[in-house]
Structure 1
């Protein structure tokens, strides 16, 4: 790791992260970030209601294919650039230091907004559950702050502890959804089993751009496998394997699970059921097919699913901050590693404080935890990640075209190129339908780009600009540091 030391930090305090995580442990970390039960219980009903209705499950399969193509190039880069850092590292090597730093700031925006959005949702669910079963009303932001504190404690410690917690929660939530799908298949569902969800007419119906946003959002975090390179047992084999396992596993699970949700109510009724109350659709489905016990278990696991999600994203954000601090683009103290836990403990504390401050601000503004905090910022994160992955695909193609280190045409040109086309098309559709997600619509319900839409979309422009400005400053004031920027950012 290239050290750009400042007087306030001793050299011994800045150390390379280490560990012995295998492919399965890393997959647990990144798939937990996708929060399977939260997606099926929260995002899928909204995708059905606001997106393309019965055809929504097919968008998970389409997204998985696009992201698998993207993952081919990502895996190729991980073999030839043996450094953590994922997007900003690879963009830096492919498209230059300044663009790499701009990508780093977009990544920070992506993971911070998606994490904060889920903090809002989990605060709402905990508040709703407490009031439902006890009649005691407590503000959602109180539970959000308590969750932030617990995540901070786990994030401060060694990552092996986090991976064990995430593993247990992930198995439980996947298991309950699998049982539901099995029962639906065994009983034949409400209207009989069919492939109506994959019929082209249903796939392109309604607002497919909104549906695609919810579908791609479900995959956010899978690409972060490269972030854990320094903590992997055998990174050259573990990271590519974990990346493929994550995207294929997520794609198959969400496609089958959401198909089962549609079959549970039937293609003719599922949209109406989602419209009645999208937030409780999964609980009502569990009650119908698994009884009261299944509903209660699902409610508990829905809460733990969201907790696993924010814990995983906390680990990702802290490592982004750690790598950027090593490059001198964030305060030097963030590059410190705890002497006993071997974790980026200072970065973890800062991320905990950042999340807490944002939740307090949202609470003071009186924002709704689901319709505003969750929906708005999940939309920002999804569009940002789609653009960031598209940029990374270009970086992969350019990098290998220049140095010829890997002559496999499929891995270094065709797959990344197809991935780029799929991602940029997805980003265009999401942008076109973005106002619907934030409520900027006219009397007929058509999207209209109002002040809120422009403000949120502006964030995706402002953050990379910060990166370019900072890169220009470093190049002018600290040319030696700029020359080493990509390697330093990579850790």
Structure 2
């Protein structure tokens, strides 16, 4: 049988100069991927929108439902990490399970996913910084200057060893989780205006409003947890560290989001939370914090919202650079992207390329006059949400096929049942997201119903284009450079 692999390095490019090394433990990897999920940004930004545009009081249940589906996905993902000892995550696993063309198509779709979510948050953080600085009496500078400054700082950290990024992310993550838990505790002890209840989990509330929209916001909040496998070469004990980090990340994120959004509902009461979200969804978390933690708590929350977004883009920067590194070593991206810095042991060229890509995209959005929140953030977060659901569904299928063909793992739950259930849940989620996609990009009829207009067509077209590039490249390589095509795979024992 065949499996996706890093190709042999050239004589003038020693393996030592193209291999990533490190000693990241479970905690460091968990912090890396949970930071990408941006818990405070989700609680402060996505949760109010999920309540307002989704299923209202029942929105917290969507986080629990999403966590269950993604846990099932994580079971198969973790099983693959034990039997496929290579980085690359989606790229590698789909290549092993479904073959070279599918793996390459998935790789390009993954690059689109992570680039889209990163640049969307760059737009949001630029806007927040601009408003905050202006509000404090500072100069009124356009959002994109703050975005470009953030990109530069992220690029500097991404250029250096991964341990530095993990330490920065760890500090920021602990701080944002702590402030949210303090708010949860304050709401719980106060009892809220209508008392504490399980109203968000009652079936009539879960199915109220637009549960499909709620599901979109919920799944989008988990983007990043699955990237644990990307850091395999930099993990201390990858066979144990990667599966453990994956489970901790998805369970931890699911519990945290469910608890935090439940407390947000309790803070205003089931009968009043929708009105509060409608009044100002962007400021809802700050208003809630002011109400329960006072002015000092509000200031801390505002600062940590900004650092949460920074942690998010830094984490995704590291993920993207490692995807490009793996693809380069598989000879499907330029060879230079696979090089590793002799001192920092980081894929420094890949980091510079990703920094440049983000800066160019932000510059283009600025020239086009796009709104940093309503267009840059919303549109590209929508692209990433649909793309990640498709990626996970394809990966679940690849897991099932891989173990059915190789028989290397006899655990039925890990290799068949859980991945199959995850596939069903993710495929269903992808369909729901696709149908409601126009809502994310404001393509609606006069009555508010989804309508596939120009914006939807272009963004959905991008989601189709990127995997198509991978399929075309695979076909071209197969016909014109069979050595390069074959170097994407190597024989392994069954």
TM-score bracket, shorter-length normalisation: over 0.9
Contact 2:6–2:489 at 8 Å: present in 1 too?
A: no
- Take 1:97 and 1:388, find their aligned partners in 2: how far apart are those partners? 15
Match of 1:63 in 2: 66
What is the CA–CA distance in structure 2 between the aligned matches of 1:270 and 1:455, rounded to whole Å?
A: 35
Kindly indicate whether residue 117 of structure 2 is the aligned counterpart of residue 114 of structure 1. yes
Cα distance in 1 for residues equivalent to 2:460 and 2:211 = 19
Q: In structure 2, how many angstroms separate the alpha carbons of the residues matched to 1:487 and 1:438?
A: 43
TM-score after normalising by structure 1: 0.97
Cα RMSD of the aligned pairs, angstroms, is 1.3
Gap runs ≥5 in structure 1 = none
Residue among 347, 350, 358 paired with 1:347: 350
User: What pairs up with 1:57-456 in 2 under 5 angstroms?
Assistant: 57-134=60-137, 136-456=139-459
Give yes or no for contact 1:89–1:486 (8 Å, CA) kept in 2: no
Q: Structure 1 runs of 4+ off > 3 angstroms?
A: 1-7, 9-14
Distance, in Å, in 2 between the alignment partners of 1:103 and 1:486 is 15
Q: Is the 8 A contact 1:207 1:433 kept in 2?
A: no
Asked if 2 retains the 8 angstrom alpha-carbon contact of 1:440 and 1:448, the reply is yes
Q: Mark the CA change 1:349 to 1:168 in structure 2 (over 3 Å): closer, same or farther.
A: same
| Structure 1 residue 15, shift from structure 2 partner | 2.1
Secondary structure of residue in 2 paired with 1:134: coil
Deviation at 1:210, TM superposition (A): 1.5
Retained in 2: the 8 A contact 1:94–1:395? yes
5+ long unaligned stretches in structure 2: none
Residue 474 of structure 2: aligned partner: 471
Cα deviation digits, residues 265-315 of structure 1 (max 9, x gap): 111111111111111000000000000000000000000000000000000
1:10, distance to aligned residue in structure 2 (A): 3.4
Farther off after superposition, 158-167 or 186-195: 186-195
> Contact 2:7–2:489 at 8 Å: present in 1 too?
no
Contact 1:6/1:332 (<8 A) preserved: no
TM-score normalised to the size of structure 2? Answer: 0.97
C-alpha displacement at 1:153, in angstroms?
A: 0.3
Change (3 A) 1:232 1:5: closer
Cα distance in 2 for residues equivalent to 1:157 and 1:448:
45
| 1: CA distance, partners of 2:490 / 2:334 | 17
Q: How far is 1:486 from its partner? A: 3.8
